[in-house]
Amino acid sequence: MDNFIRVPVELGARSYDIRIGSGLVSQLGQNLKDLTRQSRVFVVSDNVVWGLHGRVCRQSLSEAGLTMHDFVLPAGEASKSWAHLGELLDWLLECGANRDDVIVAFGGGVIGDLTGLAASLMKRGMSLVQVPTTLLAQVDSSVGGKTAINTEHGKNLIGAFYQPRLVLADIGLLHSLPDRQRRAGYAEIVKYGLIDDPEFFAWLESHGDKVLNLQADYISHAVAVSCQAKARIVAADEREGGVRALLNLGHTFGHALEAANGYGPDLLHGEAVGTGMVLALRYSHRLGLMSMADCIRADQVLAGGGLETDVSKLSGGAYRAADLVAAMKQDKKVRSGHVPLILSKGLGMAFILPDADLKDVQQFLSEELQGR
């Protein structure tokens, strides 16, 4: 019997599996052998992840008879840059990498996004395997094929849709994750309940603490349900022409908070999304769409996960409503000057409002920033 949960992502010829379980990195080499005829593999990681988990990765590859070439970047968002993308591609070229080689992104969202983009560009596409090592990457960024780097113009503005051939989510790796990162990933898990799965939301109300404590059955269930939700939405709308935008619940507000913060370490992406989701729900309430009782339930699940849900108390600086709205106008979903917002009619009833009234949003934000 398999020691993992399998979640298929159905994308025709580009379909792939997400495998979720404990200890899967030790089977990485065997999994890679099924994907390549080459006897070598390229692995990209960051210095923190590699220090913690590089040895087991190396051993697994060597047991499978694979030679490993590793490229280790400094940990942190700054590695998602043109400069590091260029270095990575030059390294692959120097190593003589070809289209039928496999490159493994072994790390969190930064490594996954950068390596994914490099894989898409290398000789117009080499095989990519994602081994996400953070909770956020396991439930969100490693799945669905979004790859990107940041530039001085903003975050993730240069990128490509490029699907991996396999995602190996080893929940055993999460034990070495700092608490803050764990909570940031939890926000994205709650998101799936809030989008369209009230049953999962209710399950998190009862069991969220066990998910956060990484109790095996609970964390694997939470990661699997999240991946199933993401796989379903990505299969329906790979390139975000419509329904995939729902995955951005809380992100328009959240990205604006991150931008106002200079994408600094005081506010992690998942933390911004947690606060952003509460803002989206409270704004839905202001429009008469959602009950305050439902807003409070969502707030409690996120706050119970240690996330700051009150924007007036959020760390990272003095936020101004006008700056946040200006940042919202830079959102990638903006079309012909219309800023869409993901709002909700109730728990698990998110929908896309195609054209938000930004004057009203600004008024709402200035009230929220004054405190509840």
Residues found near ligand GLY in the complex (CB under 6 A): 140, 144, 146, 244, 247-248
146 vs 221, beta carbon nearer ligand GLY: 146
As to burial, measured by CB atoms within 10 angstroms (0-12 exposed, 13-18 middle, 19+ buried), residue 66 is: buried
Helix extents (H) in 246-357: 251-260, 269-286, 292-304, 321-328
Annotate 109-124 with DSSP letters as a single string: HHHHHHHHHHHHHGGG
CB of 147 to ligand GLY, least distance (A): 10
| Catalytic residue (one of 19, 255, 282, 285) | 255
d(CA 267, CA 20) in angstroms, rounded, equals 28
CB of 259 to ligand GLY, least distance (A): 16
| Active-site residue flag, 213 | no
| Active-site residue flag, 251 | yes
| Catalytic residue (one of 31, 165, 191, 248) | 248
CB of 116 to ligand GLY, least distance (A): 11
| Active-site residue flag, 248 | yes
Distances in Å between the Cα of 201 and the Cα atoms of 192, 257, 327, 335, 371 are: 8, 25, 30, 31, 26
32 vs 167, beta carbon nearer ligand GLY: 167
d(CA 251, CA 232) in angstroms, rounded, equals 19
| Active-site residue flag, 345 | no
What tokens were used for 100?
């039928």
70 vs 331, beta carbon nearer ligand GLY: 331
183 vs 285, beta carbon nearer ligand GLY: 183
| Active-site residue flag, 221 | no
3-state SS assignment for residue 3: coil
Q: Sign of the C-alpha dihedral, residues 48, 53, 59, 60?
A: negative
Q: In this structure, are residues 119 and 162 in contact, taking their beta carbons and an 8 Å threshold?
A: yes
57 vs 194, beta carbon nearer ligand GLY: 194
CB of 280 to ligand GLY, least distance (A): 15
CB of 243 to ligand GLY, least distance (A): 10
| Active-site residue flag, 258 | no
| Active-site residue flag, 261 | no
| Active-site residue flag, 333 | no
Which of the residues are catalytic? 124, 146, 188, 230, 240, 244, 248, 251, 255, 269
